[in-house]
Amino acid sequence: MKYFLLFFAVIMAISARSAQAQTDLIEQGKTLFRAADCAACHLSSDGQTLSGGKAFSLPFGTVYAVNITPDRETGIGAYTDEQWLRMMRTGVDRNERHLYPVMPYTSYTFLNDADTLAIKAYLFTLKPVQAKAPENRLPFPFNQRWVMTFWNWFNNPNRRMTTDPHRTPEWNRGAYLVEALGHCDQCHTPRNFMFGLSGKAYAGTVQVGWRAYNLTSDTEHGLGGWSDSELFEYLSTGYAPHRGPASGPMAEAIKNSLRYLPAEDIRAMIVYLRSIPARSNGPQRGKRVPGASGENEDVGRHIFQQACMGCHLENGAGRQSDWGALEGAHSLSDPAATNIIAVLRTGTSIKTEHGKMAMPSFTKAYTPQELTAISEYLLDHFGGIQAPIKPESFKN
Amino acid sequence: MITIRVNNESHQLDVTDDMPLLWVLRDILGLTGTKYGCGVAQCGACTIHIDGIPARACQLPVSLIGDRHITTIEAIGNTKEGARIQAAWLQNQVIQCGYCQSGQIMAATALLRDNPNPTDDDIDDAMSGNICRCGTYVRIREAIHQAANNA
Amino acid sequence: MPKPRDIGAVLNRRAFFQGSLALGGGMLLSGMIPGLPGAQADTGGVFNPNAFIRIDRSGGITLIMRHAEMGQGIYTGIAMLIAEELEVDLEQVVLEAAPADPSRYTDSAAGEEVTGGSASTRDSWLPLRQAGAAARIMLVAAAAARWNVLPKSCAAQHGQIIHVLTGRTLSYGDLAEEAALQKVPEKIILKDPSTFRLIGTSPQRLDTKPKSNGTAIFGMDVRVPGMKIGRIMASPVQGGRLISYDSVAVRAIAGVVDIITLPDVIAVIGDHSWAAIKGLEAANPQWDPGPHAAVSTKILMDDLRRASDRTGLVAKNTGDVDAALAACSHQIDAVYELPFLAHAALEPINTTLHIRPDGADVWVGTQVPVRARQEVANATGLPPEKIAIHNHVIGGGFGRRLDSGSIGQAARLAKQISYPVKLFWTREEDIQQDQFRPFYYDRISAGLNKQRRIAAWKHRTTGSYVTTRWAPEGLQNGLDTDTVDGATETPYAIPAQRNESVQCEPEGLTTLWWRGVGPTHNIFVVEGMIDELAHLAETDPLDFRRSMLGHSPRGLKVLNEAASKSGWGTPLPAGHGRGIALHYSFQTWAATVLEVRVTRDNDIRLIWADTAVDCGPIVFPDAIKAQIQGGLIFGLTMALYNEITVTNGRVDQSNFHDYRMMRINEAPDIRVHLVPDLSADIGGIGEVGTVAAAPALANAIFAATGRRLRRIPFVPQIAGKST
């Protein structure tokens, strides 16, 4: 009896330990899942589950995010660890089908085994949702998934990240967060003719209608002019004084991912970002255009007073909160007004410790001409530049 | 616990950080003069003053207020400009249904404080964030001019 | 019987039926002086001569308002009518909203306790002065009895009775008890208008001081002890069903108290609105959209277009219109279209209720208190007399509070809980679940004879019949006269005219009255078409109208007044244009001239408007001006910007970022000129301004650009198009 009890106690201890290990694994997986910002693409339209469905309009067609809940039929529930590792690194799913590189496996490929599987372990704890992603809409030849084999030869490094012994541990941690988990380059690095990432790492580019800014150390277009504390605040809250708020996809990255990262991780990312060589790439500041319509300027100002000043104030200082403080934002001196157009078209929202801060889309109440006028007004009033914007930018 | 100062009184609140000031005023402090119209800072019916600057209470999380001082429509008459605006509003019979007018009066009071002699354009600039569905705009302009002249 | 002209007339017809039914029941006298008690009850020392006046011993004078105050100034207007004859000052009275009580507060002209159809002053003009006079006569009689003098030696003024010879006075409070014992006078002689102290003046409005300092209590502001607050969300597609919601997530929100549902509704109740708002977001309700999931604006418009090919109910037929058209030398065939519209009153829908096993209290701003009470009775099974409706000032009505469905919805929810609850709709819910002004699709053909006069006029309107749902007994042989109000009786002499109306109900949407009702719809079509014909006749639009107004001297008068005050005919800068519109609506004549400027980029700027009004006798001139100013802006907002559209059965618009409201920096200066014919019947005013807005604007844009707009809203149509 005594032995039996002892035996029982040992069993209990072991299982308790393994249960603890399992909990730790899932907790770690959740942290990594957030750092990898899987939700950015896979969150359902109601924002409640990871059942996918979001459409990505790409130069070569439309691709839909898949369901990554553990539903066996429509989700990832049937993946073995081996299949999972292969999918995350080579972009080949368990049915031997090639994924399209909207899925950033060319970044996730840098993740180590333990981290990759921890993400899977976390996802497997979620409630399975039955939801089949819509069929991608791609013309020939892009609908031929095997073409991706060749694409991968050129574009997927397919290797794990190794520690650079010449760099500090902090830098190495930053590299892992930026390159592997955060897959920042997927938006911030210009793509090549194959839609792969070009050699101009982090030089900034326009993706899905939004300008992802230059993250290199360039002082004019990149982060060279930002202080560490500005970067820290921006990455962890979505706002830094005189830099404007994050909006669009960057606001989502902060909402779903960056705001959960521990401070030391954000600091590590900054260390790494600082080491990216400068590339002077970005929108050229517009020049004064003679003969711009004074009347249109009036229209822009009037609409700003009606619909915008309630949150932004005339001087752009933000009325209720910093997340409405436009002044200093990079987007206001981009003569193409890419992000102004995008935010007016689609709106934006960000989560903060003070609650959700959101701006709606204004395309239903105002005409393309009026939205053009307001974009031009914003560029002039805040960016000090006059640049003509085309009303077509606001037409669907 | 969050402490805020409203109309010269301190209040201790047991609410979440994200609760907009609008609902604190209306539902917790019982100051229902500040109205809910849109919830997205488009209509201005919830305009209050925060250290004298007009703000939309529906978009102002209570945790962002800190030690800044809130003034609502219930107390704006204690200020010189507020009393003048309220008097001009009544004298010009601006008000129809009245639902937006707390916000209009708060916006106009701030305008008058910053600009004792506003032109029509100044009035349009300052008041365009406040919707009046009854269409009292013509009289809002007149009343602000009158309040300015009565200084 | 006069031609029905508005929803007041729709109601009128009901009143006729109900009056007939009540003939045997001793109601006739109360038809003369509404709300007159049949017999003197034990008044406990309070003088309560009729349903509108209460004078207590301490001198408190309370006037009871059977019409809802929603900004139109009716509380002041009606108080003036009563106070004029009661001989009290406005400073002496306190106002109180009437309860739901059809036996005392039925508007005898409307047949219901209702505020709408620009009818409140019209329907109060005589009876509420009589109510005041009856009370005065009884107070005089009481004083005369006390002093033992002849009543005619006594005079009433400023709330007291004076014995003229001796100068003795008694206050109304002093006389309350004895006045209550006097006989209700059978014959009432009203004051001569030349002796009016109040009527025709512009006193300080009685409702606005509390609205200027935050103390006015709108329905949304009601707070009762123990009250919780709930946010309501109904199926976004009409006819849909609630399938599921995340109750765990709701309960995780701080301050959430309850979740209650109906088959197509979910409400989350909290200690405060924020808990309710966040709770409902967390609930993430899933809906089965039901049978209307495929409805779109295109489908609804195709339905209307097809329906408009049918011959409709004939509302007017004079002369042989087809022959007359065939004989015309010039003809225009046009289609005019008016979109679905939301009311977008600034105060969203809300109802506060406390439903108990033995009765209920309901605090709400409503234009129809008796319907509201019936809704609650139907929902709860309580007898109506156990339900108290406490009516509040309304943060904008515009027709929206003529429907009581939201009160029934709130009652069906509130009866599931025992505590008092305020249930409200967010702005998004208020727009998406609104009952919309119908879409109208109007075909019109008209022709000129060789003398360039209108010889033939054929107008067929197609749209929803609000009356069918709202007051079916008001239909006239199946015809909803509101759909042709303003179309059949134009101010102009037209020898051959046919008006038809085709009913076509929109699938998956409910329709309702909207400010200006029939005339807002038809005057756009009629006055647009008149302008088109003037252009076709190569005649100035003002002269063209004048030439056809031989039978409408009051019409000619307001037209000339508006034209001369606006400087019609004087030169304008390039890009500017003036538009004119004339109409007779709600028994009021009005003409508006609007000047606009259209920029090179086709941005429309409203410069100013002049409106001349003849509404007969005038009670409160400043309120008339205010209603014209506000009404015009209401109509111009719609004409420039507004349209409700539908995709997959859901309304596309949701808040002011996508359903645009005019702002102060777009509003024109508006001058109102009163040219009353004091001998005419009194007219309505609350909707008159709105009616002229769209046609005056369309005509002004034509004058400025040569572009004819036949579809509302205008801005999306002309923006970006080069002129």
Q: Are residues B5 and B67 in contact, defined by beta-carbon separation less than 8 angstroms?
A: yes
Instruction: Tell me which of A148 and C511 has the higher pLDDT.
Output: C511
What percentage of chain C has pLDDT greater than the value 70?
93
pLDDT given at position A15: 73
Q: Which residues of chain B are within 8 Å of residue C665 when distances are taken between CB atoms?
A: 124-125, 127-128
Three-state SS string over chain A comes to CHHHHHHHHHHHHHHHHHHHHHHHHHHHHHHHHHHCCCHHHHCCCCCCCCCCCCEEEECCEEEECCCCCCCCCCCCCCCCHHHHHHHHHHCECCCCCECCCCCCHHHHCCCCHHHHHHHHHHHCCCCCCCCCCCCCECCCCCCCCCHHHHHHHHHCCCCCCCCCCCCCHHHHHHHHHHHHHCCCHHHHCCECCCCCECCCCCCCEEECCEEECCCCCCCCCCCCCCCHHHHHHHHHHCEECCCEECCHHHHHHHHHCHHHCCHHHHHHHHHHHHCCCCCCCCCCCCCCCCCCCHHHHHHHHHHHHHHHHHHHCCCCCCCCCHHHCCCCCHHHHCCCCHHHHHHHHHCEEEEECCEEEEECCCCCCCCHHHHHHHHHHHHHHHHCCCCCCCHHHHCC
| Separation in Å, CA of A365 to nearest CA in chain C | 4
What Å distances lie between residue C550 and C499, C547, C555, C556, CA to CA? 22, 7, 9, 8
Using a CB–CB cutoff of 8 Å, tell me whether A392 touches chain C: no
Residue A121's pLDDT is: 95
List, for residues B75-96, the tens digit of each pLDDT value: 999 999 999 999 999 999 999 9
Domains A169-274 and A294-394 share a fold: yes
Across residues B11-17, what is the average pLDDT?
A: 97
Report the C-alpha gap between B146 and C161 in whole angstroms: 40
A320–B55 C-beta distance less than 8 A: yes
Mutate to test the interface with A, among C431, C660, C717 (most CBs of A within 10 A): C660
Backbone conformation region of residue B30, classed left if phi is above 0, alpha if psi is from -120 to 50, else beta: left
Name chain C contacts of B95, Cβ cutoff 8 Å: 71, 205, 207-208, 211-212
Residue A184 has pLDDT above 90, yes or no: yes
Closest residue to C70, CB basis, from B31, B76, B97: B97
Residue of A nearest to C600 (CA): A295
Q: Which of A237, A44, A33, A262 is nearest to A170 (CA)?
A: A262
pLDDT at C8 over 50: no
**CB A166: neighbour CB atoms within 10 A?**
7
% of chain A with per-residue pLDDT over 90: 70
3-state secondary structure of C645: coil
Q: Which helix (H) or strand (E) holds C706?
A: none
Chain B contact for C274, CB < 8 A?
A: yes
Mean pLDDT for A83-97 is 93
| Residues of chain B contacting residue A307, judged by C-beta atoms under 8 Å apart | 42
Residues 6 or more apart in contact with residue C200 via CB below 8 angstroms = C193, C618, C619, C621
pLDDT confidence band for A10 (50 / 70 / 90): low
- A159-178 tens-digit pLDDT: 899 999 999 999 999 999 99
Find chain B residues with C-beta within 8 A of C631's C-beta. Answer: 135
Output helix, strand, coil percentages for chain C, rounded to the nearest 5: 35, 25, 40
CATH topology for A294-394 is Cytochrome Bc1 Complex; Chain D, domain 2 (1.10.760)
Task: Kindly state the average pLDDT of the residues C44-62.
Answer: 91
Q: Do A295 and C663 touch (CB under 8 A)?
A: no
State residue A138's pLDDT score.
84
CATH code assigned to C219-290+349-424: 3.30.365.10
pLDDT at A152 over 90: no
- Residues C415 and C382 sit within 8 Å (Cβ to Cβ): no
Residue A185 CA to its chain's centroid (Å):
10
pLDDT at C24 over 90: no
The whole-number pLDDT of residue A2 equals 62
Contact indicator for C213, C256 with CB cutoff of 8 Å: no
Would you place residue C109 in the very low, low, confident or very high pLDDT band (cuts 50, 70, 90)?
confident
**Residue C361 belongs to what H/E stretch?**
strand C359-364
Tell me the per-residue pLDDT of C527-548, one tens digit each, with 9 for 90 and over: 999 999 999 999 999 999 999 9
**To the nearest 10°, the Cα dihedral for C224, C226, C229, C232?**
-90
The reported pLDDT for the residue numbered C605 is 96
The enclosing H or E element of C287 equals: strand C286-288
Same fold flag, C7-203 and C298-340+436-718:
yes
Facing residue for C720 by CB, picked from A48, A362, A391: A391
* Contact at CB, A305 and B17, closer than 8 angstroms: no
Amino acid making up residue C602:
N
Q: Which chains are adjacent to chain B, needing at least 3 Cβ pairs under 8 Å?
A: A, C
Give the model's confidence band at A383: pLDDT under 50 very low, under 70 low, under 90 confident, else very high: confident
In this structure, are residues A373 and A299 in contact, taking their beta carbons and an 8 Å threshold?
Answer: yes
- pLDDT for A288: 52
The CATH architecture to which C298-340+436-718 belongs is 2-Layer Sandwich (3.30)
Distance between CA atoms of A44 and A54, rounded to whole angstroms? 7
Please name the chains neighbouring C, where neighbouring means 3+ C-beta pairs under 8 angstroms: A, B
| Residue C11: predicted pLDDT | 45
Chain C: closest CA distance from residue B78 (Å):
11
Mean pLDDT of C598-608: 93
Shortest Cα–Cα distance, A323 to chain B (Å): 11
Token representation of residue C157: 């003024």
Residue A348: predicted pLDDT: 96
- Map out the domains of chain C as residue ranges: 7-203, 219-290+349-424, 298-340+436-718
| Right CATH for A169-274 from 3.30.70, 1.10.760, 1.10.10, 2.30.30 | 1.10.760
Question: Across-strand partners of C54?
Answer: C62
Where does the pLDDT of residue C21 fall: very low under 50, low under 70, confident under 90, or very high at 90 and above? very low
Q: Where are the domains of chain A?
A: 21-155, 169-274, 294-394
Q: Is the dihedral of CA B94, B99, B104, B109 positive or negative?
A: positive
Residue (of C464, C397, C409, C460) closest to C437 by Cα position: C464
Q: A288: distance to nearest CA of chain B, Å? A: 26
- Number of CB atoms found within 10 A of residue C565's CB: 16
Mean per-residue pLDDT of chain C: 93
Cα-to-chain-centroid distance, residue A268: 18
The pLDDT, as a whole number, for residue C721 is 57
Asked if C653 and A366 come within 8 Å (Cβ–Cβ), the reply is no
3-state secondary structure of C260: strand
Between CA A147 and CA A97 the distance in angstroms is 11
List domains and CATH numbers for chain B.
Answer: 2-75 (3.10.20.30), 76-149 (1.10.150.120)
Confidence class of residue C30 from pLDDT cuts 50, 70 and 90? very low
Hey, of A46, A129, A306, which one would you mutate to test binding to chain C, going by the most C CBs within 10 A of its CB? A306
How far apart (Å, rounded) are the C-alpha atoms in residues A305 and B121? 11
What is d(CA C80, CA C60) in angstroms, rounded to the nearest whole number? 17
Contact list in B for residue C218 (CB cut-off 8 A) is 35, 98-99
pLDDT of residue C22: 29
Angle at C384 between CA C379 and CA C388, to 5 degrees: 95
pLDDT in the model for residue C108: 76
Grade residue C161 by pLDDT with cuts at 50, 70 and 90: very high
> Which pLDDT score, from 0 to 100, does residue B79 have?
97
Out of 3.40.50.450, 3.30.365.10, 3.40.190.10, 1.10.10.10, which CATH number does the structure's domain C7-203 have? 3.30.365.10
Is the pLDDT at A221 greater than 70? The verdict is: yes
pLDDT 10s digits, C658-714: 999 999 999 999 999 999 999 999 999 999 999 999 999 999 999 999 999 999 999
Contact A116, A84 (CB under 8 A): yes
Instruction: Quote the tokens at residue A85.
Output: 């590792």
Single-letter amino acid code for the residue at C172: Y
| Number of other residues whose CB lies within 10 A of the CB of residue A291 | 7
Hey, what are A324's tokens? 């409405």
Q: Give per-residue pLDDT as tens, A192-214.
A: 888 888 989 999 999 889 999 99
Residue pLDDT, tens place only, A283-329? 876 555 544 555 666 899 999 999 999 999 999 999 999 999 999 89
